[in-house]
Amino acid sequence: MAENGGSEVSDGLKTFGVVLKVLRDEACLTQEEFAERVGYSVHYVAKIEQGKRFPPTDLVGRVGEVLGTTAARVLTEAAKSLTRRAGLASWFRHWAGIEEEAGTLYAYECRVVPGLLQPESYIRAVLERQLPPVTEDQLEQQSAARMDRQRLLSVRPTTSFGFVIEQSVLERHLGGDEVTKAVLDRLLAAALQRNVEIQIMPTLHEDHYGFDGPFYLAETSDNRWIGYVEGHNSSSLLSNPKLASAMLQRYGKLRSQALSCQASRSLLEHMRGAL
């Protein structure tokens, strides 16, 4: 899903990064020492301090253990300045909000691995092929925004996630074999979650209902279904009940035609072993 735009690095992220750096400096800790104590890589800590990575949800707690409760309180206040929409294109933000509140999320993809399932190396491989090209700062911010969205899979354990992905997407090896290995590992790990279903659609299939292209569906808190389609830096939300119902029927057909979750895992394991 090409949900990222070319916006500037958010002031909120920059502010949070500066505050973290000041707190670390006040404690007379180098990045290397601080990273080791909080349990993150030096590279990751550096990116957070530069305002190029969203901080993980448990960072404040870890900082409190290392720097004390006052530092944790200061960082908590700084976190309130974060804009979690930074890095998301304006035409995608409405759907991103719906996505965060949905009780059920379905996706059918025939172009790329769905954004919620993309490992960082794959995200970069996709973003590096954007036209017109993006700057390194834009790439970092957009990558961070997409990684941040993936929190949904862990922080929404009662949300049902369903993904039908064309086998050809994985066989393309976008970014090379190492990136594809990371993709397969990510899919296999996600498939172990009780609230996540991943099904692979075989490339050869005479009876196939995906000819209208990729789409996404969300069930709202009041049990309404909303559809979403996108392409070429534009998107459409389909809230009309008849249109959403038709998309839901189409997803049901695709789900029945794809490999079962168990067979899909076996195929993913076979593909991973072949690399």
Query: So what's the pLDDT on residue 118?
Result: 96
Write the single-letter amino acid at 217: L
Q: Are 78 and 16 a contacting pair, CB within 8 Å?
A: yes
Query: So what's the pLDDT on residue 84?
Result: 52
Query: So what's the pLDDT on residue 4?
Result: 42
Q: Which portions of the chain are predicted below pLDDT 70?
A: 1-11, 57, 81-91, 93
Query: So what's the pLDDT on residue 2?
Result: 45
Per residue in 57-71, pLDDT (tens digit) is 678 888 999 999 999
User: Model's pTM, two decimal places?
Assistant: 0.71
And the tokens for 186?
């990510």
Query: So what's the pLDDT on residue 142?
Result: 85
Phi, psi dihedral angles at 83 (to 5 degrees)? -110, 105
Query: So what's the pLDDT on residue 82?
Result: 65
